Amino acid sequence: MEVSPRSVSYKKLAVNVAVLLVVFGFGYLVGDSKVSLGTDRIFRQSVQKADAGALEYGGVEELYAKLKEGYDGQLEASKLEDGLKAGLVEAAGDPYTEYLNTEASKEFEEQLSGSFEGIGAELGKENGSIIIISPIEGFPAQKAGVRARDIIVKINDESAYDISITDAVKKIRGPKGTSVKLQIARDGKPLDFEITRDQINLPSVKTEVTPENIGIIKISRFGEDTTQLVQQAAVDFKSKNVKGVVLDMRGNPGGLLDASVGVSSVWLSNGKTILEEKRDGKVVKSFSAKGTPTLLGVPTVVLIDEGSASASEITAGALRDNNAATIIGQKSYGKGSVQEVRTLDDGGVLKVTVARWFTPSGSNIDKEGIEPDQKVEITEADISSSKDPQKQAAIDKLK
């Protein structure tokens, strides 16, 4: 079944967000699964795949007829239609390709804006399990002790195995002041959390200048305003003659692809390759630096961890491969696919994986992640004493 191009709008995701889907409660379009929407609204000409063959709907009609005939209860046509669409998309076998109905698509847009009610955690899916890509610093999940790579076993005493990211988000999100129970598996051990939901207002960029005159840019997600905020920070840092810059993307699940390109361009001269998208092994689009590279040549350290995904990995890979930065921290999440969001006539959306992305050196990090140049871990003792050895290692290197 095809959708008329006139009825479809396209948004480019770098996420895991599915995956960006970021649930905040990834709510995002991530990352996987929080996902990257781009300002480029025109769908590129893509490599055409071989026709998978026309779908036969006779069996569906027969099944529906027998269901109506034999079902003891009331059938709701809208729910059946949503189920049919969701099942069709799920059968593609890709965790980041997903159908969202009208209600879910509105929640999705809300999450991308960085304001919603939930627990503040990005969700992804691996091998049938819902996992925490990253708890967002300062919000309920992180405060409760939830960590990146935790596996969600149960939500409110119901199994979370083999449910979609969207369903997990629906179960976890809720009004401020209410609570949700999560059973988590960490290192093979079960842990129980009861987390009180809150209003999640997530600024995409925070900045500071340390006493050592090191500029720090913390990007929590790649949103519509991220490039502009980073550009403003870069101008401010230059005026203060900072010795170097720390670009902190730890716990950043991703976001808009265009934002990752814009941020990378602050360090890279025009024309430098940031990433390539490939489909069926062929390059379908290349992204290069453009604009004013305010921080070109400024010593820079990028901080990543296992909660850094998608657009974060694009930026980290682009800066390292172009010799613009050193990476410190822990191996990143590993999401090497690109999603686009296509709006449907019924108000729902199709989030579909359209390509794989590759760093300037030709690496695709899907399921592999980016290894730091200098590995620095944060221990339980560090967390308890509010120490940040990764940030300190970056500052020491720049001093």
Mean pLDDT of 333-343: 91
- Per-residue pLDDT, averaged over 2-30, amounts to 34
pTM here? 0.71
Alpha carbon distance 311, 258 (integer Å): 9
- Which residues are marked as active site? 310, 321, 335
Residue 396: band (very low, low, confident or very high) from pLDDT cuts 50, 70, 90: very high
Q: Give pLDDT tens digits for 99-142.
A: 999 888 877 776 666 678 999 998 888 888 999 988 988 899 99
Instruction: For each of the domains in the chain, give its residue range(s) and CATH number, in order of start.
Output: 202-337+356-398 (3.90.226.10)
- Burial label, 272 (beta-carbon count in 10 A; 0-12, 13-18, 19+): buried
Residue 335 has pLDDT above 60, yes or no: yes
Question: In the prediction, which pLDDT does 53 show?
Answer: 64
Q: Any bridge partners for residue 99, and if so which?
A: 350
Q: Give per-residue pLDDT as tens, 253-280.
A: 898 999 999 999 999 999 999 999 999 8
- The 10s digit of each residue's pLDDT in 279-296 is 988 999 999 999 999 999
Structure tokens at 152: 């969600």
- Smallest CA-to-CA distance from 336 within 30, 21, 1, 29 is with 30
Confidence tier at 42 by pLDDT (50, 70, 90) = very low
Cβ neighbours, 10 Å, residue 88: 14
Which pLDDT score is estimated for 47? 33
78 class by beta-carbon count within 10 Å (0-12 exposed, 13-18 middle, 19+ buried): exposed
pLDDT at 391 over 80: yes
Task: Report the alpha-carbon distance of residue 149 to residue 124 in Å, rounded.
Answer: 9
Please tell me the predicted confidence (pLDDT) of residue 14.
52
In this prediction, residue 216 carries a pLDDT of 98
* 195-239 confidence digits (pLDDT tens): 999 998 877 899 999 999 999 999 988 988 999 999 999 999 999
Pairing of strands 158-159, 121-126: unpaired
* CB-count exposure of residue 243 (10 Å: 0-12, 13-18, 19+): middle
First vs last C-alpha separation in the chain: 59
